[in-house]
Amino acid sequence: MLEAVVGADRFRLKPGDSVLAPRGIPHAWAFAGGTPGRLLISFAPAGQMEAFFAERDRRLKPGTYSSGDSGAAFLHAYGMELVGPPLVVD
């Protein structure tokens, strides 16, 4: 199961569900439940996302996305920023 927040809306998604998170709208997601999950993300248009993921995979340990100010600068270089606290799953 996946918990997602898009703007002011909160969703609890089951396998096969989908949600749209438009560019420029803050969004977050977290896996909910006791088993590993899978997430398919599609970007249209892709913009700099392919370059972002390739560079992230070269720079960071597997399973990490950023750390401290260097992480924020890295995201900013690809047109993204972290906002708000991490998503808490009930």
**pLDDT at position 65 over 70:** no
pLDDT in tens, 66-80: 555 567 888 889 988
**pLDDT at position 83 over 90:** no
Between 29 and 90, the higher pLDDT residue: 29
Q: Are 27 and 33 in contact (CB under 8 A)?
A: no
Amino acid at 33: G
Between 38 and 9, the higher pLDDT residue: 9
pLDDT of residue 13: 92
CA distance 13 to 20: 12
